[in-house]
Amino acid sequence: MKNTFKNKTILVTGGAGSIGSEIVRKLIKHKPKQIRILDIRETELVDMQRGLNSHQDINFFIGDVRDKERLNLAMKNVDIVFHTAALKHVPACEYNPFEAVKTNVGGTQNVIDTALANNVEKVINISTDKVTNTINTMGATKLLAERLITSANNYKGTKRTVFSSVRFGNVLNSRGSMIELFRTQLKKKEPLTVTCPEMTRFIMSIPQAVNLVLKTAELSKGGEIFILKMPVFKLDDLIKTLIEELSPKYGIEPKNVKIKEIGLRAGEKMYEDLMTEEEARSTIETEHYLIIQPEINISHFKKQKNKYKKTQKKRYSSKQSKILSKEELKEILYKAKIFN
């Protein structure tokens, strides 16, 4: 993987976020020529700049992916783009749908256009399980972003740019995640607001998510969607584990923590999918990854039938997957340093 990034100029959109900032920290170890971080959040950028001030090859840009002219300037002489900028909160997108369209769809098209204009080598788009069998605005906009990324491989002409996506599950301890919310509520000795205890979700740590992104940059040929094989947890088990492990740290008896069930939020699902039955027909797999190959005809793309086996999965859903036991979940949470 070192050769993929060594001496390359790399742009990370949304680079001050949970995933973007970790991508930057991992990339530093691979000795790129330069890393450019583009984000609209001034305070987070400044904080990040202070933390990385010993690295002279990192540049910080205040800018929005909605602003094509600004994005084009940031894209000059870039080799690889990691596109993490997005509106990601389901209820926020549900109540502000066209804002989600402007960022998640328009912003992604701007990334495509400016990458082609600057003959970028690779663009890796960060997507989500919310796109699969979606029922909400966030998922719909991110699904369209995925389709834009895949189809860009088909109309790029003689440009060298390769476009691919990755799909994430729930990323542990990412900014604005449910764990962050529950920890805050425990600290304030407030009831934990739970949507539905029987809800299930795919789970991955921030390092796992970033490793998937970097591996995708290494393996992608253009048009694929990469998915990490990941475990599934039940919300009720997560809540009980957090109460048991975190309450004593805040001087609270676990038995005294109250839980308030509030029901599903706008656009929320009981279960999540990472791959549909239709997608499974064109999906191959490795020991750790599922790779959905493009269904549209991309002239340069050669399906990797011989190198990897065709998946035997008919669908990849948190409803049909084995659920982690409480002890297994606790072990994952400890490894992710959730209780520190």
Q: Please state at what angle helix 235-246 crosses helix 326-335, rounded to 10 degrees.
A: 60
Q: How far apart are CA 256 and CA 1, in angstroms?
A: 49
Check if the beta carbon of residue 37 is closer than 8 Å to that of residue 61. Answer: yes
Q: Where are the alpha helices (DSSP H) in the chain?
A: 2-5, 18-28, 42-51, 68-74, 90-95, 97-100, 107-117, 137-155, 178-187, 206-219, 235-246, 277-280, 326-335
Check if the beta carbon of residue 75 is closer than 8 Å to that of residue 118. Answer: yes
Q: How far apart are CA 105 and CA 144, in angstroms?
A: 7
Q: CA-based diameter of the chain, in Å? A: 65
* Active site annotation includes 303: no
Dihedral pair phi/psi, residue 324, rounded to 5°: -60, 145
CA angle 125, 129, 134 (to 5 degrees): 110
Check if the beta carbon of residue 79 is closer than 8 Å to that of residue 10. Answer: yes
Active-site choice (8, 88, 130, 313) = 130
Check if the beta carbon of residue 205 is closer than 8 Å to that of residue 170. Answer: no
Residue 274's H or E segment, with its range, is strand 273-275
Residue where the block lists tokens 């600290």: 187
Check if the beta carbon of residue 302 is closer than 8 Å to that of residue 258. Answer: no
Check if the beta carbon of residue 74 is closer than 8 Å to that of residue 11. Answer: yes
Residue where the block lists tokens 């992104």: 213
SS3 306: coil
Catalytic center residues: 130
